[in-house]
Structure 1
């Protein structure tokens, strides 16, 4: 083999074409965490979707405001995962967004034996509801709703166990993870989930519009995400998450 042929083979090798991008990430157990296997199920989905398109992902874990700011300033290629909202929002104007990576179901947790039925927001009037400081809830302006805020979901669930609030709205996966890992088994056994979902939120990978390469990266990511779903791996990773394997 002459040197020209050898050079062609080297340049044609898959590892020679490999690209690496950096994404800011954060702590949102059990979806995302620096301490979890594969950095959590959602990080694993993003990693493998890019890998199917020949792109390697490096994560930098930051507090959420910093993770977002670094993506805004172009210090990283993008960030995961975020809800984007309608085109008129600042986030939608600044960022390109991928196809949906995570669809999170929000529910009401309550104590077993507590008579709670809910079909519309008006049914929440008169209840003591445990909310997280800084979160916006669509029902908080409903007349008669009493929102008792705490710094995080764990403290709200502790108030629920103690009978200091009646219901706690939270992501189904997040609430179950906290009950499984932070509470005594007998405490967790006393909490249940009300029928129905009060909210469904779609979360996506975001990349700054101002960076010319990002449209191409997102196109490749979406293609890889479709491949991951077609293979059945996406469904398996989410099933593993729901089963407590992260």
Structure 2
């Protein structure tokens, strides 16, 4: 009967695997054009990457668009399986498993055209009027905690660029590609430019809640699919297509 028990066990494990994959992976998505946005084709190229990576491993994805902070908290509490894309820090590692890096991005310092601002690193931002977004990590946390740097954080980047245009801010911190897209969309390309210096480069990841019953399974599956997609050159191809404007509706 030992052979029969082994067959039953194999069938059971196969059934559990199929059942697990049949349930959609619920992911918190956010507005961060040109990477991810409900207003872009396929939800932006990062959203397309996330869904295709999981699909390559047999999983369907279900995106819920919501404010970043809410998405973070709902994932942290286990209401969502995961969220994307986020950078890594010690506090987040207490609550989430991190995938392999999905993409590496840089943070630019946007300023008024014709204004001379010399910056070699984040410490040179001290004493300046700096704008940022609530909940975003710019790699300036130590300076902020020490009180040497104060970032005026609001909910939407558009407001920061309007303040910058009016001279109410010296610098707006924003991802290089995201900031360029927003400046152009607002028609401020002749008034706002990125400083030649970028303050950091960081990897961004898919977060999976440790409270998800499939946490390790989903991370492992995603990492396998991501390696395949990168090996096929799709990540860079989709990013290039985004730069060409092919994701705009």
Instruction: Normalising by structure 1, report the TM-score.
Output: 0.79
Aligned to 1:117: 118
| Deviation, structure 1 residue 125 | 4.1
Q: Deviations over 1:190-213 (max 9, x none)?
A: 222111220223221122224442
Aligned to 2:160: 156
| Alpha-carbon spacing, 1:114–1:136, altered in 2? closer, same or farther (3 Å) | same
Q: Distance in 1 between matches of 2:214 and 2:54?
A: 15
Q: Distance in 1 between matches of 2:131 and 2:93?
A: 30
**From 43, 53, 59, the counterpart of 1:55:** 59
| Deviation, structure 1 residue 231 | 0.8
Stretches of structure 1 that go unaligned for 5 or more consecutive residues are 1-10
| Alpha-carbon spacing, 1:153–1:215, altered in 2? closer, same or farther (3 Å) | same
| Deviation, structure 1 residue 110 | 1.3
Query: 1:66 aligned to 2:53?
Result: no
Q: Distance in 2 between matches of 1:69 and 1:177?
A: 28
Aligned to 2:236: 235
Q: The residue matched to 2:218 in structure 1 has which SS?
A: helix
Aligned to 1:215: 216
Q: The residue matched to 1:188 in structure 2 has which SS?
A: coil
**More divergent stretch after superposition (228-237 vs 200-209):** 200-209
Q: The residue matched to 1:220 in structure 2 has which SS?
A: helix
1:170-189 to structure 2, matched below 5 A, reads 170-181=174-185, 183-184=186-187, 187-189=188-190
Instruction: Normalising by structure 2, report the TM-score.
Output: 0.78
Residues 177, 244 of structure 1: 8 Å contact kept: no
Alignment: residue pair count: 226
Aligned to 2:85: 81
